[in-house]
Amino acid sequence: MSPSFGLHTRGGPYQGGALELVWSPSDFFQGFLSAGYSRQRFRLSASGPNANGVGESTSVPLMVGLEFRFSSQLKIVAEGGMAVSGELKIEDPQGRLLTSSRFDSAGLLRGHLALSF
Check residue 2 and give its pLDDT. Answer: 72
- Per residue in 19-78, pLDDT tens? 999 999 999 999 999 999 999 999 999 998 889 999 999 999 999 999 999 998 999 999
Number of compact structural domains in the chain: 1
Check residue 1 and give its pLDDT. Answer: 62
In order of 65, 78, 94, 116, the CA distances from 104 in angstroms are 22, 23, 28, 38
- Closest to 31 measured CA to CA, from 20, 39, 40, 42: 20
pTM of the model: 0.79
Which has more pLDDT, 35 or 15? 35
Enclosing domain of residue 101 = 5-115
Residues 1/36/81/3 CA torsion (nearest 10 deg): -10
- Per residue in 87-107, pLDDT tens? 999 999 999 999 999 999 999
pLDDT confidence band for 111 (50 / 70 / 90): very high
Check residue 10 and give its pLDDT. Answer: 83
